[in-house]
Structures are given as structure tokens and as C-alpha cells.
């Protein structure tokens, strides 16, 4: 039981850290494209902003994570 609990905690922590890293990457690309920094943690909103700016990064991220 302890091992299962440890794995679930590790998974949750990794998932949270991955979302944080992805948020920073998306914001960095948006800033590079002239976007004014906004306080948001909404990955879908940030992705939409990149799509609106026709960023190649969003295409690469989509392909990496979703295989499209």
C-alpha cells in the first residue's frame, strides 16, 4: 500500500511540474512574439494565443504530446 501511495504522489508531483514547465515555455514563446505577459496558468488559453500568432512551437508541442 505504501508503494502505491508513493507512486500516486510522485505521479501527481511530476504532472504538476510538467504543467508548470509547459506554462513557462508557452509564455516564453509568446513574449518572444510580442505578447504582453499576463498572469494566467491556463494552458489552453496560452495555447490559443500561440495558435492565433501562428507559432510553430504549438504545432511541435501538439505533435509531441498528441501525435497529431
Closest CA to 16 of 49, 37, 41, 40: 41
- pTM comes to 0.77
% the chain with pLDDT above 70: 85
Domain boundaries, the chain: 2-66
Residue 43 and residue 22 in contact, taking contact as beta carbons nearer than 8 Å: yes
Per residue in 16-49, pLDDT (tens digit) is 898 999 999 999 999 999 999 999 999 999 999 9
- Per-residue confidence (pLDDT) for residue 2, from 0 to 100: 63
Q: Are 30 and 46 in contact (CB under 8 A)?
A: yes
Amino acid at each position: 500500500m505504501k508503494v502505491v501511495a508513493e507512486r500516486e504522489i510522485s505521479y501527481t508531483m511530476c504532472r504538476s511540474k510538467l504543467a508548470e514547465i509547459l506554462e513557462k515555455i508557452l509564455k516564453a514563446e509568446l513574449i518572444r512574439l510580442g505578447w504582453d505577459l499576463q498572469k494566467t496558468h491556463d494552458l489552453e488559453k496560452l495555447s490559443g494565443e500561440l495558435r492565433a500568432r501562428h507559432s510553430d512551437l504549438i504545432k511541435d508541442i501538439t505533435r509531441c504530446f498528441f501525435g497529431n
